[in-house]
Amino acid sequence: MASIKRSSLLESNRSLRSEEEKVQESLYWKTEEDDLYLASVEYGQDLGVNTTSKSQGRAAEEVIRQSEEGEETFKLFSFKNSGTVNFEVKGLLSGNVLQLGLQMGFGPHYQSPEKVIPLVDIADQFALILMAMPDDIVSLESRARAIAALKDFSRGDVQETKSKAKPNKAEDSKEGWSFDVNSPPVASGKQRAVQAEDPLVECQGTHVEGSFSCSHLQEADCESYFVTDGLSHMQCAWVAQCNVPDLASLTPNHREILPNIYMHNGRFPHVRQSDNFCLRCKGYLSTKQSGQYKFYTASDDGSLLYLNKAKVVDNNGCHGEHEKSSGDTFLSAGTHELVVEMCEMGGGEAFKMRYEGPDTGGSKVAVPASALKHAQKRLAEGLECDYFYGQAQCHVPDLGGLAPSHSAVLPHIYMHNGNFPHVKQGDNFCIRCSGYLSTKNSGNYKFYTASDDGSLLYLNGEQVVDNNGCHGEHERSSHHKFLGPGIHRLVVDMCEMGGGENLKMRYEGPDTGNSKVMIPTSALKHEVKPFYADGLDCDYFYGQAQCDVPDLSVLTPAHSAILPNIYTHNGRFANVRQSDNFCLRCSGVLTASSSGDYKFYTASDDGSLLYLDGEKVVDNNGCHGETERSSESMFLSAGTHELVVEMCEMGGGEAFKMRYQGPDTGGSKVAVPGEVLKHEVLRASDGLECDYFYGQAQCHVPDLGGLIPSHSAILPRIDMHHGNFPHITQGDNFCIRCSGYLSTKNSGNYKFYTASDDGSFLYLNGKQVVDNNGCHGEHERSSHHMYLSQGLHHLVLDMCEMGGGENLKMRYEGPDTGNSKVTIPMSALKHQAKRPLTEGLECNYFYGQAQCDVPDLKGLTAAHTAILPNVYMQNGNFPHVKQGDNFCIRCSGYLSTRNAGNYKFYTASDDGSLLYLNGEKVVDNNGCHGEQERSSEHKFLSAGTHHLVVDMCEMGGGENLKMRYEGPDTANSKVMIPRSALKHEATDFADGLECDYYYGQAQCHVPGLALLTPAHSEVLPNIYMHNGRFPHVRQSDNFCLRCSGFLTTSSSGNYKFYTASDDGSLLYLDGEKVVDNNGCHGELERSSHSMFLPAGTHHLVVEMCEMGGGEAFKMRYEGPDTGGSKVAVPASVLSHAK
């Protein structure tokens, strides 16, 4: 019976009884109270029956109601068998679903989790029987109405039943009555005088009591399917409709990225139920050629297609797969806003989007993934807050209509006692903080603002908290709001008139365990606006060159640099570190001022390729002398176009030129100028990134871009004199290259100066503007006046110190300085911040792909992924592997080296393994063999991070994979690479630090804890333990603790860090030991030097050992985020990677 399609039982053409007879049966479907009886029994081992509970009438109805609402599962019967091996079998009722519960145990201490197996849906089975009844027993309308009365029955089934039945209307002109199913007869005395035009919000899935609100609605208005009594209550549900509703106004359950729209035979990716769902896909259609296009949607059921905000295809209605088309639509080459919507009521499921036009050669084809784009929101933690002065009122004004004085990003909203970051006056100010709330779990959330004075909170455009008025600190809340997982638009406004100053934002819900807490930084996001600077972002690859340029996008570059344009010849390649066997990949955007037909050229020795807007337009591949090839003539609209240009040099001559012609060049073929080439700065942070070189100094500064630095650091400004050069490790014979961006607020003419002892250069947007070369004492030279627009400008400063005095200063004058000559401030210097790194490697697992020679794993799809602290697996102890043989592993991330020098790498494996460093294969241990070790040659590595990949396949037999190295960081001993030296990019964060506990390992000087295996791990909110109150510690003495994660700084500036411990402790920041508080001692505090930190996230490790006696461990800091006061590092700025 369960396999019968319910709606198919309506297909037969049976005659119906007279309308008047049907009325008598179809007015109401109701069960007498006393007919309902519910009991629970237990069976003993002798199968004797013991009734444990029973209820009848209203009491039984209440038990079922609680079961339906998820409050309680009712136990119908149970059978227990006690003993050493024991079990219990239960019969359960949850709503309309009968379930079987099973639990087993062994002895008194082990009980398995209860397993619940759904058996049958009573409503489902009753509906099948009911719909199979002949019309002469129960009318069609009564059956549809009875099915709808089952609260747990699928709404989709109800709708499908209704859609295939005749209109449910009955009337008798003689008697003077008429009615629709689920509405009382007009002549019954139960009337609803008002009929709503649209479904009310209150009706969407709620139960409304009384004769108001939903109680007046007719079925067609509210999609209502159940009436117990016309004057009592009505249950309303919002369901899929034959005509696609306004999906843009609804909150989606979840959101996914689809490559294209071509779903059939019910194969809908990511859909979580088979019927009664809708889909809204939005993005952009990219057309290469202008002309007339025609669009089609084929769907079961309704669908709509909008292009550039106009509805062009209307395929609405409940129907099987049906295709409709637009008229001919002219589209220019470029991108066009696209929205396509679809609803599936029930039955077949299909949704296809096709088009025809110039890009398809006039053929009707599925719109390909390459032509579909979506706008990606780049989100970062925290809210973007605007500050307003002199605008405060008791009732917060419309801040969205005012111009802010300044803006800042705040990690959270929890300001009290007047501690308002970035506020420039004590009273009469307002703040508007906007961004997104990120929720992980669906459910009901409640929001609170506490403020002095007024505050408002908006969620998804709706005001949910109104805490307006002039008052002391006062808290108000929202009602419960249902939110699905995802991001939700959030705005909080506040004004401070005078007196106390407070603003706190809290919430409770599924993500908080329903506790009221401050909304954490990890749940608050803001959209990162793109910044563009002049030049292309170029990656350099060595040892990878081929006659036909390989796929450089999947390789790891050795280093990167910004080039102003692509026009190199006679071997003059900027920043290249070897003369042959290298490749270059430059990416960014090309700006076209005028629309029209353009043609592009590359001239190279050897191969080169040029891509525009994702399409290869110039193919100049091959091993050849300087050869030029061109694209076809192609239409470009005015605006920015994605550009990628690649080149490989095998040997011999070296040349690489990029030219074009079109409206912007007056039709002449010219080198693509630097002013039309831009690259995006994704994560701008304060300060310049400076590389340090030793033993390379010359009176005339050499090409530092072609050298490997010994180490790097971030400097807030360039103003070093009297030998006070931060991070320098020797007094003479050194060079520095500092690079990043100059941020200008105002357009106009600027002049730049460098004062140095000895030589220095300054480059702006790829052009040398100051030449202060030579061996000399402190000497200042300047640029000419130069016009700079508002924005970011790529800046490079080089300097060498041969000996004697040491000075380097960089100053400027212009509109941003009131035309005074000043040191360029930290706020005007930016660098592209790297993603934060955390410990361990990211490892992908592959099954059934193993070969003696490791295959190309990067091209395969991993079965699953895990983070491993190190790579040292033996005797078959491979963590996370799900089968014993025929598997492969790829672990990737970064190797962190503290000291520059020559390193050697080893892999020992059974079977094959490979190790890649900075994109180059350095260890080849391939083949089917027992455990065997092979090594690399010595490789010079600078201090810093180096991209690392290790691959391994296990065919069968023994299983081993070990990765070791030797070099300056190991005192040239061969050791396992420790987890402290292995890193991967952190992409998702949680509050607190991840802490490892070690027992029996304590020493006066903290040992290398990263090399040891912890007894257990916990997450701690912060580090402030005293009087022996150490959370999670399992013994009072002889233990060590290692906590790692991230410290977030809101403001750039100089910070100082402290640890107080009994006994020894160490603190590392961004890989550098900054506090050494080692030794056996009572509680003792030591500090770091003052050190510059840009705003952002910084990797933090803090270690401590307790030998015996007193127990204390505290971490404090001072700096811009603390107002210069020394405070405990708060939990709100500490996080760890998930």
pLDDT category of residue 231 using cuts at 50, 70 and 90: very low
Residue 440, by phi and psi: left (phi above 0), alpha (psi -120 to 50) or beta?
alpha
Quote the pLDDT of residue 703.
85
Count other C-beta atoms under 10 Å from residue 680's C-beta.
Answer: 16
Token pair listed for 793: 């400008």
Q: What is the mean pLDDT of residues 893-913?
A: 90
Q: Return the pLDDT at 914.
A: 93
Residue 204 is predicted with a pLDDT of 34
Task: Please give the pLDDT value at position 474.
Answer: 93
| Residue 776: predicted pLDDT | 92
Q: Which CATH number fits domain 989-1137: 2.60.40.3140, 2.60.120.620, 1.10.3720.10, 2.60.120.1560?
A: 2.60.120.1560
- DSSP 8-state assignment for residue 418: T
Cα distance between residue 1120 and residue 1093, in whole Å: 10
Q: Which residue has the higher pLDDT, 894 or 705?
A: 894
Q: Terminal CA-to-CA distance of the chain, rounded, Å?
A: 48
184 or 1132, which is more confident? 1132
Give yes or no for residue 20 having a pLDDT over 80. no
Q: What is the CATH number of domain 684-832?
A: 3.90.182.10
Report pLDDT for 664: 94
> Within 10 Å of residue 527's Cβ, how many Cβ atoms?
14
- Overall average pLDDT of the 594-601 stretch: 92
Give the Cα separation of 56 and 36 in Å (integer).
6
8-state DSSP, 862: P
pLDDT in tens, 430-443: 999 999 998 988 88
d(CA 896, CA 914): 19
User: Cβ-count burial of 930 within 10 angstroms (0-12 exposed, 13-18 middle, 19+ buried)?
Assistant: exposed
Most confident of 1-10, 154-163, 414-423, 1057-1066: 1057-1066
What is the reported pLDDT for 127?
63
Contacts by residues 719-725 (CB-CB < 8 Å, ≥ 24 positions apart): 719/809, 719/810, 719/823, 720/806, 720/807, 720/808, 720/809, 721/778, 721/806, 721/807, 721/808, 721/809, 722/806, 722/807, 723/805, 723/806, 725/806, 725/808
CATH of domain 837-985: 2.60.120.1560
pLDDT at 45: 60
**Residue 74: what are its φ and ψ, rounded to 5°?**
-90, 130
pLDDT of residue 228: 27
Report the pLDDT value the prediction gives residue 129, as an integer from 0 to 100.
Answer: 67
| Fold classified for 531-681 | Jelly Rolls (2.60.120)
Whether the per-residue pLDDT at 273 is higher than 70: the answer is yes
* pLDDT at site 767: 84
Mean pLDDT of 110-139: 69
* Full-model pTM: 0.48
The amino acid at residue 36 is L
In the prediction, which pLDDT does 181 show?
Answer: 37
The pLDDT of residue 783 is above 50: yes
Which are the contacts of 405, defined by CB distance < 8 A and separation ≥ 6?
387, 388, 389, 424
Q: What is the mean pLDDT of the chain?
A: 80
- Give 356 or 200, the one with higher predicted confidence: 356
> pLDDT-based confidence at 573, cuts 50/70/90?
confident
Highest mean pLDDT: which of 235-239, 618-622, 1013-1017? 618-622
Considering only 232-241, 408-417, 756-765, which range has the smallest mean pLDDT?
232-241
Please identify, in words, the CATH class of the domain defined by 247-373.
alpha beta
Q: By percentage, how much of the chain surpasses pLDDT 90?
A: 31
Q: Is 379-527 the same fold as 247-373?
A: yes
Residues 6+ away with beta carbon under 8 Å from 1137: 836, 838, 986, 987, 988, 989, 990, 1045, 1046
Quick check: 1038 pLDDT over 80? yes
1093 with 1052: CB under 8 angstroms?
Answer: yes
**Better pLDDT: 69 or 490:** 490
pLDDT of residue 429: 92
- Indicate whether 341 pLDDT > 80: yes
pLDDT of residue 941: 84
Residue 23 pLDDT exceeds 60: no
On the question of pLDDT at 368 being above 60, the answer is yes
State the pLDDT at residue 67: 56
pLDDT at 17 over 60: no
Give the pLDDT confidence score for residue 289 in this predicted structure.
Answer: 83
The predicted pLDDT at position 99 comes to 84
Confidence label for 365 from pLDDT (cuts 50, 70 and 90):
very high
Amino acid at 15: S
Which of 209-213, 886-890, 938-942 holds the top average pLDDT? 886-890
Q: Domain extents for the chain?
A: 1-179, 192-239, 247-373, 379-527, 531-681, 684-832, 837-985, 989-1137
Q: Which CATH architecture has domain 379-527?
A: Alpha-Beta Complex (3.90)
- Confirm if 894 and 837 have CB atoms less than 8 A apart: yes
Token pair, residue 33, equals 């109270």
pLDDT digits (tens, 9 = 90+) for 735-771: 999 988 898 888 889 999 999 989 999 999 878 999 9
